[in-house]
Amino acid sequence: MPKPETTILLVDDHALVRRGFRRMIEDDPDLRVVGEASDGHDAVEMARNLMPAVVVMDFALPSMNGAVATRLILKDAPETRVLILSMHSEPNYVRACLDAGARGYLLKNALDLELVEAIKKVAGGARVLDPRLGQMPEKTTPALSTRELEVLQLIVHGKSNREIAMVLGLSANTVAVHRSNIMQALGIHNTAELVVYSIRNGLASIT
């Protein structure tokens, strides 16, 4: 009986990058790309519909970063494994992805055959970290809920409470409560500080 293929969802906002990864992945007969997404929201929706074995995802994505997208994907598809690919080696970004539930983090600048091997390891339940990342810091940022991270991302994008409420289907009062809870949890008292802290610690992205 033939071994079942490992299904993969590719997530990157550059079509040429996705094409290169796809070619690399599908050179292996045990791996099959079942979908491609160009931003975090699409990745979450496609993972929910396709239930891939592995999501191979960039960290810096439009609309939400890879860490937030990972949380949302695993909420609906807990059996899916997430492998983050990134140009960013900052420890706080790596830590944010691992805390969100990602099973691996590779740097993009020297993937070669590492990608296929990493996908197979992650699919098998192992954790894969690029050896060039060095020592990861212990978790230092307070835990925020998935909904709070969604609100935070939209705050970083400059949205008002009313605009955030429309995007997330909430009331403006509920968004105000989330905003207050986020600031209290992080010990921050104004929006400018909140934006800087969130980006620096990988809780949100500006793309």
Give per-residue pLDDT as tens, 126-137.
999 988 887 665
110 compared with 75, residue with greater pLDDT: 75
* Per-residue pLDDT tens over the stretch 36-64: 999 988 999 999 999 999 999 999 887 78
pLDDT at 99: 87
Number of domains the chain is built from: 2
67 compared with 110, residue with greater pLDDT: 67
Same domain, 56 and 127: yes
Residue given tokens 């400059």 in the structure block:
158
Nearest-angstrom CA–CA distance, 53 and 17: 21
Full domain range(s) for residue 157:
146-200
* Per-residue pLDDT tens over the stretch 77-89: 999 999 999 888 8
Sign of CA dihedral 207, 191, 88, 145: negative
pLDDT at 79: 93
> Is it the case that residue 1 has pLDDT exceeding 80?
no
Residue ending a domain, among 133, 161, 191, is 133
Q: Is residue 114 part of a domain?
A: yes
> Is it the case that residue 113 has pLDDT exceeding 60?
no
> Is it the case that residue 17 has pLDDT exceeding 80?
yes
Q: How confident is the model at residue 111 (pLDDT cuts 50, 70, 90)?
A: low
- Among the residue ranges 6-10, 146-150, 170-174, the one predicted with the least confidence is 146-150
Same domain, 88 and 152: no
Q: Is residue 206 part of a domain?
A: no
Provide the mean pLDDT of the chain.
88
pLDDT at 110: 60
pLDDT at 102: 95
Kind plus residue range of the DSSP H or E element containing 20: helix 15-26
Residue ending a domain, among 108, 133, 158, is 133
Residue ending a domain, among 105, 133, 161, is 133
pLDDT at 150: 86
115-92-36-75 Cα dihedral, nearest 10 degrees: 110
Classify strands 54-58 and 31-37 as parallel, antiparallel or unpaired. Answer: unpaired
